[in-house]
Amino acid sequence: MRLKDKVAIVTGGANGIGEATCYRFAQEGAKVVIADLKEDEVKKVEQKIKDMGGEALGVVCNVADKASVDAMVQKTVDTFGTVDILINNAGITRDAIFHKMTEEQWDQVFDVNLKGVFYCCKAVVPIMRDKGYGRIVNISSVSRFGNPGQANYSATKAGLVGFTRTMAKELGPKGVTMNAIAPGSIETAMFLAVPEKIREVAARANALQRPGTVEEVANAILFFASDESSYVTGQCLQVDGGVMMP
Ligand SMILES: NC(=O)c1ccc[n+]([C@@H]2O[C@H](COP(=O)([O-])OP(=O)(O)OC[C@H]3O[C@@H](n4cnc5c(N)ncnc54)[C@H](O)[C@@H]3O)[C@@H](O)[C@H]2O)c1
């Protein structure tokens, strides 16, 4: 088992890529904390992991709210004793072409996608620094390279990569790695919210000519969360079927 007894927090773990990551981590022996907004769905994922014979804790948490994040991390420590892995996966879109984009749409996306990562890292990094071990994975997006209608989202996803590089340099001497994953078109609620015509074009705009599955992203996240990536930090891995080959 690649994550035996490791304590892993997955934000946005109740659906999509986060949910698949929770199950993948549980299969690899991790104690999984599902931190998400929606109580019913958090409980559903927690129960599924327990039914698989794994250990899980569902916590209702809004990553854009510092008190909520601090309480979630405290509950994790009270229950499992520590935090080894943090997956900053919670993310939202509020798409609009820039001249129609409202300040509210801009702020909502920044509050969740970037400020939420700041709050989670603020709460978890001191624990990892103290123990001299940690794995943090941030979920960016192929949109970091630019995508019309997503000025707010692209800015946060590109920002996450700069954050990842800086934090990797700061935390490397403390035994903590930070990497990012940039998914392309993955079949989740977020992707299905895109108009069908655009979805079809997007899904075929890659070398593999199809959208990705949540499991394919979860496998890449697992690599960065495990000790198999022990000499890799500050990287952003495209999991996009070959859209971008930077
Ligand atoms: N699906 C794609 O094609 C795709 C592509 C590139 C990047 N991504 C990124 O992958 C991540 C997961 O996306 P997904 O497609 O699985 O999305 P999803 O909408 O299926 O799931 C996102 C989860 O995050 C939770 N969430 C939203 N706001 C939250 C908050 N404030 N606090 C806590 N939880 C919150 C939601 O409740 C939901 O369970 C996101 O960061 C997204 O930007 C997705």
- The H-assigned helical ranges of 28-150 are 39-51, 66-80, 103-110, 116-131
User: Which residue minimizes the CA distance to atom 20 of ligand 1?
Assistant: 16
For the domain spanning 7-239, the CATH number is 3.40.50.720
Q: From the CA of 64, how far away is ligand 1's center (Å)?
A: 13
Which pLDDT value is given to residue 125?
99
Q: How far is the CA of 241 from the centre of ligand 1 (A)?
A: 19
- Summarised one tens digit per residue, pLDDT across range 188-208 is 988 888 888 988 888 889 999
pTM of the model: 0.98
Number of Cα atoms under 13 Å in the Cβ half of residue 242: 6
pLDDT digits (tens, 9 = 90+) for 167-191: 999 999 999 999 999 999 999 988 8
Report the share of the chain in percent with pLDDT over 90.
92
Q: Domain spans of the chain?
A: 7-239
Measured by CA distance, the residue closest to atom 23 of ligand 1 is 12
Mean pLDDT of 136-144: 98
> In this model, does residue 246 exceed pLDDT 80?
no
**Ordered alpha helix ranges (H), 102-234:** 103-110, 116-131, 151-171, 189-192, 196-204, 214-225
For residues 198 and 101, what is the distance between their CA atoms, to the nearest angstrom? 19
Two structure tokens written together for 39: 């109580």
Residue 224 dihedral angles phi and psi, to the nearest 5°: -70, -25
What pLDDT was estimated at residue 192? 87
Mean pLDDT of all residues belonging to the chain? 97
Atom of ligand 1 nearest to the CA of 193: 19
- pLDDT of 14: 98
Q: Which pLDDT tens digit goes with each residue over 4-36? A: 999 999 999 999 999 999 999 999 999 999 999
Q: What are the distances in angstroms from CA 231 to CA 64, 140, 169, 219, 226?
A: 31, 21, 13, 18, 11
9, 10, 40, 113, 223 from 136: Cα distances, Å: 10, 10, 26, 15, 11
**Cα–ligand 1 centroid distance for 205 (angstroms):** 22
Task: Look at residue 10 in the predicted model and tell me its pLDDT.
Answer: 99
What DSSP character marks residue 210?
A: S
Greater confidence, 189 or 90?
90
Distance CA 221, CA 177 (A): 13
* Test site for ligand 1: of 21, 33, 89, 244, most ligand atoms within 8 A of the Cβ: 89
Give the span between the Cα atoms of 218 and 19, in whole angstroms. Answer: 9
The counts of H helices and E strands in the chain are: 9, 7
Residue 78 Cα to ligand 1 midpoint, Å, equals 26
pLDDT at 167: 99
Mutual angle of helices 151-171 and 103-110, in 10-degree steps: 30
Q: Provide the pLDDT confidence category of residue 66 given band limits of 50, 70 and 90.
A: very high
Q: Which atom of ligand 1 is nearest to the CA of 111?
A: 31
Residue 153 a catalytic site member: yes
